[in-house]
């Protein structure tokens, strides 16, 4: 499936004989990584979800599920693993078909025009002007509509909250089948955060949303709440 929002990095091939059935001996390259990292700076976090304990109740189109859990419980690591940018640990991760867009707290903003940043990772030529402007306005960045083709260091020019709005404009434009939001609205004020979640739910009726969020006002915008704790995920 298409995975966007992070490096196009795939999990390493799993050893033969199936996966997700308990711990395996680390592969040689993982051992090397551990040593190179000075005793474990880059390895499977102790509380990372165990194989087979992932979120089985995948959201349906139009449904939104929020994952909560204590800081450090492994929520972001779970999303990174799903995105294919966390190549450590063992187990099997499979995503259903359809385009997935991952938006972390600090979204990636490529160099170039604002238009290219909104359309990323797709080619800006794929989207009509009206659709790009609509997404920009829905995300609360309508004031920038005349600067869509300006080449500027947008990552430095935009505030943290504006960068998050830009990432949400990307979601509104791309309309992915799966949208993963890892505290992707945390830099916005609570009213804006709530408003943008309402916009996402309204404008993306076919998208399944999985969020990591804490604020009750945001949690309220989801149909189900899951909690990640001690490496297990289940109803809160």
Ligand X SMILES: Nc1ncnc2c1ncn2[C@@H]1O[C@H](COP(=O)(O)OP(=O)(O)O)[C@@H](O)[C@H]1O
- Identify the residue among 5, 74, 107, 140 touching ligand X (CB under 6 A): 74
Among positions 6, 49, 77, 90, the unique one binding ligand X when judged by CB under 6 A: 77
Site for Mg ion in 202-221 (CB under 5 A): none
Q: Give the number of residues in contact with ligand X, rule: CB under 6 A.
A: 11
The one segment of 16-24, 68-76, 147-155, 188-196 that binds ligand X by CB under 6 A? 68-76
Pairing of strands 3-4, 178-182: unpaired
First to last CA, the chain: 29
Question: Residue from 35, 38, 39, 71 that binds ligand X (CB under 6 A)?
Answer: 71
Q: Are the CB atoms for 145 and 118 separated by under 8 Å?
A: no
Give the β-pairing of 151-152 and 232-235: unpaired
User: What are all long-range contacts of 13-20, with beta carbons under 8 Å and residues at least 24 apart?
Assistant: 14/90, 14/92, 18/92, 19/51, 19/90, 19/91, 19/92, 20/51, 20/52, 20/91, 20/92
Q: Which residues ranging from 71 to 90 are in contact with Mg ion (CB under 5 A)?
A: 76
Does residue 30 interact with ligand X by CB under 6 A?
A: no
- Say how far apart CA 200 and CA 195 lie, in whole Å: 9
| Region binding ligand X by CB under 6 A among candidate stretches 20-28, 37-45, 132-140, 214-222 | 37-45
72 binding ligand X? (CB under 6 A): yes
Residues that bind Mg ion (CB under 5 A): 76
Residues that bind ligand X (CB under 6 A): 41-42, 45, 69, 71-77
């Amino acid at each position: 499936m298409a995975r966007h929002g992070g490096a196009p990095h795939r999990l390493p091939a799993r050893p033969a004989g199936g996966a997700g059935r308990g711990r395996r001996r680390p592969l040689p390259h993982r051992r090397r990584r551990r040593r190179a990292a000075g005793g474990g700076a880059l390895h499977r976090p102790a509380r990372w979800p165990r194989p087979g304990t992932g979120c089985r109740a995948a959201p349906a189109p139009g449904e939104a599920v929020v994952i909560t859990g204590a800081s450090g419980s492994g929520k972001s690591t779970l999303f990174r693993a799903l995105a294919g940018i966390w190549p450590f640990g063992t187990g099997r991760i499979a995503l259903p078909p359809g385009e997935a867009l991952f938006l972390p707290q600090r979204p990636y903003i490529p160099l170039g025009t604002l238009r290219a940043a909104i359309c990323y990772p797709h080619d800006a030529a794929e989207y009509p002007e009206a659709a790009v402007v609509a997404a920009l306005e829905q995300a609360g960045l309508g004031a920038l509509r005349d600067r869509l083709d300006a080449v500027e260091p947008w990552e430095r020019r935009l505030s943290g909250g504006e960068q998050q709005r830009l990432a949400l404009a990307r979601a509104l434009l791309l309309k992915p089948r799966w949208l993963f939001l890892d505290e992707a609205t945390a830099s916005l004020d609570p009213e804006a955060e709530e408003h943008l979640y309402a916009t996402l739910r309204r404008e993306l009726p076919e998208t399944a949303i999985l969020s990591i969020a804490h604020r009750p006002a945001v949690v309220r915008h989801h149909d189900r709440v899951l909690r990640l704790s001690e490496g297990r995920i289940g109803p809160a």
